[in-house]
Structure 1
Amino acid sequence: MREIVTAALQMGPIQKAESRKDVVDRMIALLDQAKAAGATLAVFPELAFTTFFPRWYMEDPAEVDTWFETEIPSAETKPLFDRAREHGIGMYVGYAEKTQDGQQFNTSILTAPTGEIIGKYRKVHLPGHSEFDTERDFQHLEKRYFEPGDLGFPVWHSQGGVMGMCICNDRRWPETYRVMGLQGVEMVMLGYNTPAVNSQMSSEGPEDRLFHHRLSVQSGAYQNATWVIAVAKAGDEDGFPLIGGSLIVDPNGKIMAESKTLGDEILVHSCDLDLCTFGKETIFDFARHRRIEHYGLITERTGAEVPPE
């Protein structure tokens, strides 16, 4: 067996007025619980240090900048990284990244148990819109504040396994998992901040949102014979509710653990990476069964086009 004791560290709501220090203190408390449970890998949510700020329409660049990290770890976030290193726990952490040349990305990083940053991913599938939309019940302005990720879907070797990352809306796209699956991924980590109601269709509430969330994660895990660790920022942020439903899903698509609250909560499971082997060598043995000569449209065309009659 190749087991990684993995902690999915769900976070409750972060209000707009909360400081980085307060948030990092909460994250450290969760990390301490993960250590007590024997974890060597901890997965935090998307945009873990702040509220989900893309719901707010901002025109002042200085105001926008307050939500971004220009270095990781920063002075305010360093205590989290120090504690992880002391505990010997690797981390997935999501945050808003501003580069030295002014690019802005929705980013996650992977650290080793020894503390060094070994991987970076930038969110590829940005949902929402870029300008204030009067037709929506609330705003979802990721396309305003972030550029599409430019690093693709790489994988990294860590803790004896092949690790991959994605963020939130990426989980709904099968290409996300398959590109990593074609690199032999054995564990996909993803953080998310998902509104509990669809801003463009209010009848789609938490039950439907959680159904689609589970469907996406479980199918991605099964179809690529990989563990998936999906971790929420949940609860009511300044009147805007987010779903919970953090999950640890095995390579057969089965849910091994699921959060029960909308607050800070820890899920721990010993993930045996050898469970990926059977699926990768049988039904999802890509080398034997894939037929790429028929898949051209996937990369040749972006939007759907109905053939002429």
Structure 2
Amino acid sequence: MTTKRTLGLAVAQMGPVHLSDTRETVVRRLVEMMRDAKGRGAEMVVFPELALTTFFPRYWMEEAEAEARFFEAAMPNAQVQPLFDEAKKLGVGFYLGYAERTPEGTRYNTAIIVDRAGAIVGKYRKIHLPGHSDHKPDAPFQHLEKKFFEVGDLGFRVFDTMGTRFGMCLCNDRRWPETYRVMALQSAEVVVLGYNTPSLNIHWNEPVHLRTTTHLVSLQANAYQNGIWVAAAAKCGSEDGHHMIGSSAIVAPTGEIVARTLTEEDEVICVKADMSLGEHFRQHVFNFAKHRRPEHYRLIVERTGAGEPLV
């Protein structure tokens, strides 16, 4: 019989962060939400992608200016240390997205997992970078992740902390099934992620409602098909006139949304996540060792002439 294990899992959605907002102001908001989450029984709090700044890839600027204004050369640093201190004081772990500049000068869209003692136990650098690197002066805003960030070099890994196996990703990664499958094959139990998703797609005329629909479908389908919990935190609302979707959510291994934000402001949602629920799905429905046959995929591809084998 599977032993029941639970995790107090919270998502701390953020409302807008404007160009004029300081790191200190933003960190105070994060600390306040962490306290709120702790009061609801949270042991792990998920903050958004690029949580410390506005979504700066929407603006055309030189890389040097972006580095000076929006990137973190160390983590933690003096401005963000209060969040780490509060985590240690409360005994709460957290996930945080930020813009990282390495000592060698390489720039990444990065996320970390911090344990209850305030120590970094895992790092991820975004792999699926959306957008473009060239200037599009006729667009209502830019989406310059390919200009400001390098493709992540750490892969999709799983980290053991707080008695749970955590995987993590960032924003556009959530739309790719291999993101979750690679971590599920490493026995991930929970995948945590942050996102900043514009309501307007500058590349094609995508109906606005699809931005939220496809976001939720991606979370739900991958949670179910991999037997994992998924916790996704938005930074949303109108940042200096540029709107981003909310709909932060916690999804169970059943594919059901068990908590979802109602606003586009700072808002905390929290559930007691039953880890044994995912174990049931991984043992009896999606038992990779028992039922998954990659060699058959190869045969299908080869026999149909559908291109190079996938596995």
TM-score by length of 1: 0.93
Which SS does the other structure have where 1:270 is aligned?
Answer: strand
| CA displacement at 1:136 relative to structure 2 | 3.4
Matches within 5 A, 1:162-181: 162-181=165-184
Residue 124 of structure 1: aligned partner: 127
Residue 9 of structure 1: aligned partner: 12
The number of residue pairs the alignment matches comes to 299
List structure 1 segments (4+ residues) > 3 angstroms apart after TM superposition: 134-137, 294-297
Q: Flag the 1:126–1:294 CA change in 2: closer, same or farther, 3 A.
A: farther
Which SS does the other structure have where 1:110 is aligned?
Answer: strand
| CA displacement at 1:35 relative to structure 2 | 1.5
Q: Flag the 1:235–1:305 CA change in 2: closer, same or farther, 3 A.
A: farther
Say whether 1:147 aligns with 2:150. yes
* 1:247-276 per-position Cα deviation (integer Å, ceiling 9, x unaligned): 000011100000000000000100111111
Say whether 1:243 aligns with 2:245. yes
| CA displacement at 1:203 relative to structure 2 | 4.4
Which SS does the other structure have where 1:130 is aligned?
Answer: coil
| C-alpha contact (below 8 Å) 1:34/1:266 kept by paired residues | yes
Q: Which runs of 5+ in 2 are unaligned?
A: 300-305
| CA displacement at 1:26 relative to structure 2 | 0.7
Which SS does the other structure have where 1:276 is aligned?
Answer: helix
Residue 270 of structure 1: aligned partner: 272
- What is the letter of the counterpart of residue 183 of structure 1? Q
In structure 2, C-alpha distance between the alignment counterparts of 1:174 and 1:11, rounded to whole Å = 26
| C-alpha contact (below 8 Å) 1:123/1:148 kept by paired residues | yes
Decide which moves more: 128-137 or 27-36.
Answer: 128-137
| CA displacement at 1:305 relative to structure 2 | 6.7
Residue 73 of structure 1: aligned partner: 76
Q: CA RMSD in A?
A: 1.6
Residue 34 of structure 2: aligned partner: 31
- What is the letter of the counterpart of residue 111 of structure 2? S
Matches within 5 A, 1:1-309: 1-59=4-62, 61-134=64-137, 136-205=139-208, 207-295=209-297
| C-alpha contact (below 8 Å) 2:96/2:112 kept by paired residues | yes
TM-score by length of 2: 0.93
Q: Which runs of 5+ in 1 are unaligned?
A: 298-303
Q: Flag the 1:63–1:173 CA change in 2: closer, same or farther, 3 A.
A: closer
In structure 2, C-alpha distance between the alignment counterparts of 1:178 and 1:63, rounded to whole Å = 34
In structure 2, C-alpha distance between the alignment counterparts of 1:292 and 1:234, rounded to whole Å = 39
Q: Percent sequence identity over matched residues?
A: 49
Which SS does the other structure have where 1:284 is aligned?
Answer: coil
In structure 1, C-alpha distance between the alignment counterparts of 2:25 and 2:236, rounded to whole Å = 17
| CA displacement at 1:292 relative to structure 2 | 1.5
In structure 1, C-alpha distance between the alignment counterparts of 2:307 and 2:144, rounded to whole Å = 27
In structure 2, C-alpha distance between the alignment counterparts of 1:202 and 1:14, rounded to whole Å = 26
In structure 1, C-alpha distance between the alignment counterparts of 2:123 and 2:164, rounded to whole Å = 17
In structure 1, C-alpha distance between the alignment counterparts of 2:280 and 2:258, rounded to whole Å = 18
| C-alpha contact (below 8 Å) 2:63/2:148 kept by paired residues | no
Decide which moves more: 130-139 or 163-172.
Answer: 130-139
In structure 1, C-alpha distance between the alignment counterparts of 2:66 and 2:281, rounded to whole Å = 48
Which SS does the other structure have where 1:66 is aligned?
Answer: helix
